[in-house]
Structure 1
Amino acid sequence: MAMPNLPMEGGCRCGRVRLRISAPPLLTMACHCRGCQKMSSSAYSLSVAIPSDCFAVIDGEPVIGGLHGELRHFFCGHCMSWMFTRADVMAGFVNLRPTMLDETGWFTPFVETYTCEKLGFADTGARHSYERFPPFEDYGRLAQEFAALEDARPSGA
Protein backbone atom coordinates (compact mmCIF):
# COMPACT_ATOMS: atom_id res chain seq x y z
CA MET A 1 0.00 0.00 0.00
CA ALA A 2 1.25 3.49 -0.83
CA MET A 3 1.92 6.00 1.91
CA PRO A 4 -1.09 8.32 2.41
CA ASN A 5 -0.84 11.96 1.44
CA LEU A 6 0.87 14.34 3.84
CA PRO A 7 0.42 15.78 6.33
CA MET A 8 -0.54 12.73 8.37
CA GLU A 9 -1.86 12.81 11.90
CA GLY A 10 -2.01 10.33 14.71
CA GLY A 11 -2.28 9.96 18.42
CA CYS A 12 -1.96 7.75 21.45
CA ARG A 13 -4.45 5.04 22.34
CA CYS A 14 -6.66 7.32 24.43
CA GLY A 15 -6.36 10.30 22.06
CA ARG A 16 -5.11 12.82 24.64
CA VAL A 17 -1.84 13.36 22.73
CA ARG A 18 -2.03 14.07 19.01
CA LEU A 19 0.80 14.53 16.54
CA ARG A 20 1.39 15.46 12.89
CA ILE A 21 4.09 14.64 10.34
CA SER A 22 4.56 16.76 7.23
CA ALA A 23 7.35 14.86 5.46
CA PRO A 24 7.75 11.24 4.40
CA PRO A 25 9.94 8.99 6.54
CA LEU A 26 13.69 8.97 5.99
CA LEU A 27 13.63 5.24 6.89
CA THR A 28 11.25 2.67 8.29
CA MET A 29 12.64 0.21 10.81
CA ALA A 30 12.06 -2.67 13.20
CA CYS A 31 14.33 -3.13 16.22
CA HIS A 32 14.67 -6.56 17.84
CA CYS A 33 16.76 -5.47 20.86
CA ARG A 34 15.69 -6.65 24.31
CA GLY A 35 15.03 -3.05 25.37
CA CYS A 36 12.54 -2.55 22.52
CA GLN A 37 10.98 -5.93 23.23
CA LYS A 38 10.37 -4.85 26.81
CA MET A 39 9.21 -1.31 25.93
CA SER A 40 6.75 -2.55 23.30
CA SER A 41 5.75 -5.80 25.07
CA SER A 42 6.30 -7.44 21.70
CA ALA A 43 8.94 -9.20 19.60
CA TYR A 44 10.25 -5.88 18.23
CA SER A 45 9.45 -2.18 18.02
CA LEU A 46 8.58 -0.35 14.82
CA SER A 47 9.70 3.16 13.94
CA VAL A 48 9.74 5.74 11.20
CA ALA A 49 12.51 8.34 11.15
CA ILE A 50 10.88 11.73 10.52
CA PRO A 51 12.87 14.99 10.07
CA SER A 52 12.58 16.89 13.38
CA ASP A 53 11.25 20.05 11.76
CA CYS A 54 8.47 18.02 10.08
CA PHE A 55 7.18 16.47 13.31
CA ALA A 56 4.89 18.24 15.79
CA VAL A 57 2.86 17.40 18.86
CA ILE A 58 -0.39 19.26 18.09
CA ASP A 59 -2.43 18.43 21.19
CA GLY A 60 -1.59 17.26 24.70
CA GLU A 61 1.71 16.92 26.51
CA PRO A 62 3.75 13.72 26.18
CA VAL A 63 5.87 12.67 29.16
CA ILE A 64 9.30 11.11 29.25
CA GLY A 65 9.34 7.45 30.27
CA GLY A 66 11.53 4.44 29.62
CA LEU A 67 14.94 5.99 29.00
CA HIS A 68 15.51 9.48 30.44
CA GLY A 69 19.07 10.36 29.42
CA GLU A 70 20.58 11.13 26.04
CA LEU A 71 17.88 8.89 24.55
CA ARG A 72 14.36 9.90 25.63
CA HIS A 73 11.18 7.90 25.08
CA PHE A 74 7.94 9.90 25.03
CA PHE A 75 4.60 8.50 26.19
CA CYS A 76 1.08 9.69 26.75
CA GLY A 77 0.89 10.39 30.49
CA HIS A 78 -2.59 8.91 30.70
CA CYS A 79 -2.68 5.71 28.58
CA MET A 80 1.13 5.28 28.59
CA SER A 81 1.38 4.61 24.84
CA TRP A 82 5.02 4.75 23.71
CA MET A 83 4.75 7.38 20.98
CA PHE A 84 8.18 8.54 19.86
CA THR A 85 11.86 8.78 20.72
CA ARG A 86 14.27 11.70 20.61
CA ALA A 87 18.00 11.52 21.17
CA ASP A 88 20.81 14.07 21.32
CA VAL A 89 22.82 11.97 18.85
CA MET A 90 19.96 12.04 16.32
CA ALA A 91 19.00 15.71 16.58
CA GLY A 92 17.89 15.86 12.94
CA PHE A 93 15.03 13.38 13.28
CA VAL A 94 12.42 11.85 15.56
CA ASN A 95 11.75 8.10 15.72
CA LEU A 96 7.97 7.85 15.67
CA ARG A 97 6.11 4.63 16.40
CA PRO A 98 4.15 4.26 13.13
CA THR A 99 1.25 2.59 14.91
CA MET A 100 0.51 6.00 16.45
CA LEU A 101 -0.50 7.30 13.01
CA ASP A 102 -4.17 7.19 12.05
CA GLU A 103 -3.31 5.32 8.84
CA THR A 104 -0.86 2.43 9.23
CA GLY A 105 -1.50 0.04 6.35
CA TRP A 106 1.32 1.55 4.27
CA PHE A 107 4.07 0.73 6.81
CA THR A 108 6.68 -1.92 6.07
CA PRO A 109 10.08 -2.07 7.82
CA PHE A 110 12.91 -1.37 5.38
CA VAL A 111 15.70 -2.02 7.92
CA GLU A 112 15.74 -4.35 10.92
CA THR A 113 18.28 -3.96 13.70
CA TYR A 114 19.56 -6.05 16.59
CA THR A 115 18.87 -9.36 14.90
CA CYS A 116 21.36 -10.82 17.39
CA GLU A 117 18.51 -10.58 19.96
CA LYS A 118 15.70 -11.49 17.56
CA LEU A 119 13.08 -13.99 18.69
CA GLY A 120 13.08 -17.01 16.38
CA PHE A 121 9.57 -16.47 14.99
CA ALA A 122 9.83 -12.70 14.48
CA ASP A 123 10.23 -12.17 10.74
CA THR A 124 9.72 -8.59 9.51
CA GLY A 125 10.36 -8.86 5.77
CA ALA A 126 12.84 -5.97 5.98
CA ARG A 127 15.15 -5.56 2.99
CA HIS A 128 18.21 -4.93 5.19
CA SER A 129 19.15 -6.73 8.41
CA TYR A 130 21.87 -5.81 10.87
CA GLU A 131 23.17 -7.81 13.81
CA ARG A 132 23.27 -4.57 15.82
CA PHE A 133 22.81 -1.06 14.34
CA PRO A 134 24.00 -0.19 10.83
CA PRO A 135 27.43 1.45 10.74
CA PHE A 136 27.02 5.23 10.72
CA GLU A 137 28.30 5.41 7.14
CA ASP A 138 25.46 3.11 5.93
CA TYR A 139 22.61 5.45 6.92
CA GLY A 140 23.02 7.81 3.95
CA ARG A 141 22.91 4.95 1.45
CA LEU A 142 19.96 3.32 3.22
CA ALA A 143 18.00 6.59 3.25
CA GLN A 144 18.71 7.14 -0.47
CA GLU A 145 17.63 3.61 -1.34
CA PHE A 146 14.48 3.96 0.77
CA ALA A 147 13.63 7.33 -0.84
CA ALA A 148 14.05 5.83 -4.33
CA LEU A 149 11.75 2.97 -3.36
CA GLU A 150 9.16 5.40 -1.99
CA ASP A 151 9.40 7.57 -5.13
CA ALA A 152 8.57 4.53 -7.24
CA ARG A 153 5.33 3.80 -5.35
CA PRO A 154 2.04 5.30 -6.49
CA SER A 155 0.73 8.25 -4.49
CA GLY A 156 -1.58 7.59 -1.58
CA ALA A 157 -5.19 8.55 -1.50
Structure 2
Amino acid sequence: MSDWNLPWEGGCRCGQVRLRISAPPLLTMACHCTGCQRMTASAFSLSAAIPTEGFSVTQGEPVIGGLHGASRHYFCPYCMSWMFTRAEGMDWFVNLRATMLDDPSWFTPFMETWTSEKLPWATTPALHSFEKLPDFNDYKRLTDEYAAQAVKPGPSRRA
Protein backbone atom coordinates (compact mmCIF):
# COMPACT_ATOMS: atom_id res chain seq x y z
CA MET A 1 0.00 0.00 0.00
CA SER A 2 2.89 2.40 0.55
CA ASP A 3 3.48 2.67 -3.20
CA TRP A 4 0.04 4.29 -3.46
CA ASN A 5 1.10 7.01 -0.99
CA LEU A 6 -1.93 6.34 1.22
CA PRO A 7 -3.88 7.56 3.06
CA TRP A 8 -5.53 10.23 0.94
CA GLU A 9 -7.75 13.01 2.20
CA GLY A 10 -10.53 14.78 0.39
CA GLY A 11 -13.65 16.80 0.82
CA CYS A 12 -16.44 18.79 -0.69
CA ARG A 13 -16.09 22.27 -2.16
CA CYS A 14 -16.93 24.09 1.09
CA GLY A 15 -14.95 21.73 3.36
CA GLN A 16 -17.81 20.78 5.68
CA VAL A 17 -17.61 17.09 4.67
CA ARG A 18 -14.20 15.41 4.70
CA LEU A 19 -13.12 11.94 3.57
CA ARG A 20 -10.22 9.58 4.17
CA ILE A 21 -9.10 6.88 1.73
CA SER A 22 -6.84 4.14 3.13
CA ALA A 23 -7.03 1.50 0.35
CA PRO A 24 -6.02 1.82 -3.30
CA PRO A 25 -8.76 2.01 -5.94
CA LEU A 26 -10.04 -1.13 -7.61
CA LEU A 27 -10.68 0.79 -10.85
CA THR A 28 -10.91 4.34 -12.13
CA MET A 29 -13.54 5.37 -14.62
CA ALA A 30 -15.49 7.97 -16.53
CA CYS A 31 -19.25 7.51 -16.81
CA HIS A 32 -20.99 9.11 -19.80
CA CYS A 33 -24.60 8.33 -18.77
CA THR A 34 -27.07 11.18 -18.96
CA GLY A 35 -27.63 10.99 -15.20
CA CYS A 36 -23.94 11.69 -14.53
CA GLN A 37 -23.96 14.41 -17.17
CA ARG A 38 -26.83 16.15 -15.40
CA MET A 39 -25.46 15.72 -11.87
CA THR A 40 -22.03 17.05 -12.86
CA ALA A 41 -23.20 19.64 -15.42
CA SER A 42 -20.43 18.18 -17.58
CA ALA A 43 -19.88 15.54 -20.26
CA PHE A 44 -19.15 12.73 -17.77
CA SER A 45 -18.38 11.97 -14.14
CA LEU A 46 -14.99 10.75 -12.92
CA SER A 47 -14.77 8.17 -10.17
CA ALA A 48 -12.50 5.78 -8.34
CA ALA A 49 -13.96 2.55 -6.97
CA ILE A 50 -12.58 2.41 -3.42
CA PRO A 51 -12.91 -0.78 -1.31
CA THR A 52 -15.50 -0.05 1.37
CA GLU A 53 -13.10 -0.87 4.20
CA GLY A 54 -10.71 1.79 2.85
CA PHE A 55 -13.28 4.61 2.77
CA SER A 56 -14.49 6.77 5.64
CA VAL A 57 -16.25 10.07 6.20
CA THR A 58 -14.18 11.84 8.84
CA GLN A 59 -16.16 15.07 9.17
CA GLY A 60 -19.74 16.11 8.45
CA GLU A 61 -22.82 14.17 7.44
CA PRO A 62 -23.38 13.71 3.70
CA VAL A 63 -26.98 13.49 2.48
CA ILE A 64 -28.56 11.43 -0.27
CA GLY A 65 -29.42 13.33 -3.45
CA GLY A 66 -29.94 12.49 -7.08
CA LEU A 67 -32.70 9.98 -7.77
CA HIS A 68 -32.85 8.37 -4.29
CA GLY A 69 -32.99 4.91 -5.89
CA ALA A 70 -30.87 1.77 -5.88
CA SER A 71 -27.73 3.86 -6.41
CA ARG A 72 -27.41 6.23 -3.46
CA HIS A 73 -25.63 9.45 -4.41
CA TYR A 74 -24.15 11.34 -1.45
CA PHE A 75 -23.75 15.11 -1.39
CA CYS A 76 -22.55 17.75 1.04
CA PRO A 77 -25.72 19.19 2.62
CA TYR A 78 -24.34 22.74 2.41
CA CYS A 79 -22.50 23.18 -0.92
CA MET A 80 -24.26 20.23 -2.60
CA SER A 81 -21.05 18.76 -4.05
CA TRP A 82 -21.69 15.23 -5.34
CA MET A 83 -19.09 13.29 -3.37
CA PHE A 84 -19.64 9.54 -3.71
CA THR A 85 -22.09 6.82 -4.67
CA ARG A 86 -22.98 3.52 -3.06
CA ALA A 87 -24.69 1.09 -5.43
CA GLU A 88 -27.26 -1.29 -3.98
CA GLY A 89 -26.03 -4.88 -3.94
CA MET A 90 -22.40 -3.81 -4.48
CA ASP A 91 -21.41 -3.06 -0.91
CA TRP A 92 -17.74 -3.98 -1.39
CA PHE A 93 -16.84 -0.57 -2.89
CA VAL A 94 -17.69 3.12 -2.78
CA ASN A 95 -17.61 5.08 -6.03
CA LEU A 96 -15.73 8.22 -5.00
CA ARG A 97 -15.92 11.28 -7.27
CA ALA A 98 -12.20 11.55 -7.99
CA THR A 99 -12.15 15.34 -7.90
CA MET A 100 -13.14 15.25 -4.22
CA LEU A 101 -9.57 14.17 -3.41
CA ASP A 102 -7.29 16.94 -2.19
CA ASP A 103 -4.84 15.87 -4.91
CA PRO A 104 -6.55 14.22 -7.89
CA SER A 105 -3.66 15.01 -10.26
CA TRP A 106 -2.70 11.31 -10.59
CA PHE A 107 -6.20 10.29 -11.71
CA THR A 108 -6.78 8.90 -15.22
CA PRO A 109 -9.89 6.91 -16.13
CA PHE A 110 -8.97 3.29 -16.83
CA MET A 111 -12.37 2.54 -18.33
CA GLU A 112 -15.40 4.47 -19.53
CA THR A 113 -19.01 3.36 -19.27
CA TRP A 114 -22.30 4.29 -20.91
CA THR A 115 -20.60 5.43 -24.11
CA SER A 116 -23.97 4.83 -25.81
CA GLU A 117 -25.11 8.07 -24.12
CA LYS A 118 -21.93 10.12 -24.44
CA LEU A 119 -21.79 13.51 -26.06
CA PRO A 120 -20.29 13.13 -29.55
CA TRP A 121 -17.22 15.27 -28.79
CA ALA A 122 -16.43 13.79 -25.36
CA THR A 123 -13.27 11.70 -25.28
CA THR A 124 -11.17 10.22 -22.49
CA PRO A 125 -7.85 8.33 -22.43
CA ALA A 126 -9.60 5.24 -20.98
CA LEU A 127 -8.17 1.90 -22.11
CA HIS A 128 -11.56 0.14 -22.08
CA SER A 129 -14.93 1.44 -23.31
CA PHE A 130 -18.35 -0.04 -22.73
CA GLU A 131 -21.64 0.95 -24.36
CA LYS A 132 -23.32 0.36 -20.99
CA LEU A 133 -21.54 -1.43 -18.11
CA PRO A 134 -19.02 -4.27 -18.31
CA ASP A 135 -20.43 -7.74 -17.86
CA PHE A 136 -20.27 -8.63 -14.16
CA ASN A 137 -17.90 -11.52 -14.97
CA ASP A 138 -15.41 -9.07 -16.56
CA TYR A 139 -14.75 -7.09 -13.36
CA LYS A 140 -12.15 -9.54 -12.00
CA ARG A 141 -10.10 -9.26 -15.20
CA LEU A 142 -10.51 -5.48 -15.26
CA THR A 143 -9.52 -4.97 -11.61
CA ASP A 144 -6.51 -7.28 -12.03
CA GLU A 145 -5.40 -5.37 -15.12
CA TYR A 146 -5.90 -2.03 -13.39
CA ALA A 147 -3.87 -3.16 -10.36
CA ALA A 148 -1.01 -4.26 -12.62
CA GLN A 149 -0.76 -1.08 -14.70
CA ALA A 150 -2.24 1.76 -12.61
CA VAL A 151 -0.26 4.98 -12.32
CA LYS A 152 0.23 5.51 -8.60
CA PRO A 153 0.25 8.99 -7.12
CA GLY A 154 3.49 10.48 -5.89
CA PRO A 155 3.81 12.61 -2.76
CA SER A 156 1.03 15.16 -2.52
CA ARG A 157 1.66 18.39 -4.38
CA ARG A 158 -0.95 20.32 -2.44
CA ALA A 159 -0.39 21.83 0.93
User: For this structure pair, what is the TM-score category when the shorter chain's length is used for normalisation?
Assistant: over 0.9
Residue 13 of structure 1 corresponds to 13
Residue 123 of structure 2 corresponds to 123
1-structure distance, mates of 2:133, 2:42: 19
Runs of at least 4 residues of structure 1 off by over 3 A? none
1:116 maps to amino acid: S
Matched, 1:156 2:154: yes
Structure 2 stretches lacking a partner, 5+ long: none
Cα separation, partners in 2 of 1:18 and 1:115, compared to 1, 3 Å: same
1-structure distance, mates of 2:130, 2:94: 21
Residue 28 of structure 2 corresponds to 28
- CA RMSD across the alignment: 1.3
Residue 99 of structure 1 corresponds to 99
Alpha carbons 2:32, 2:115 under 8 Å: kept? yes
SS in 1 for 2:49: strand
Measured against aligned partners, the alpha-carbon deviations of 1:101-155 in whole angstroms (never above 9, x if no partner) come to: 00011000000001111111110110000011000011110000000002xx566
1-structure distance, mates of 2:16, 2:64: 15
Alpha carbons 2:9, 2:18 under 8 Å: kept? yes
State the 1:99 CA deviation: 0.2
Matched, 1:142 2:138: no
Residue 48 of structure 2 corresponds to 48
State the 1:67 CA deviation: 2.4
Aligned residues: 153
2:93 maps to amino acid: F
The TM-score with structure 1 as length reference comes to 0.94
SS in 1 for 2:120: coil
Alpha carbons 1:4, 1:103 under 8 Å: kept? no
SS in 2 for 1:102: coil
Matched, 1:58 2:50: no
Alpha carbons 2:27, 2:146 under 8 Å: kept? yes
The TM-score with structure 2 as length reference comes to 0.93
State the 1:20 CA deviation: 0.5
2:97 maps to amino acid: R
SS in 1 for 2:95: strand
State the 1:69 CA deviation: 2.3
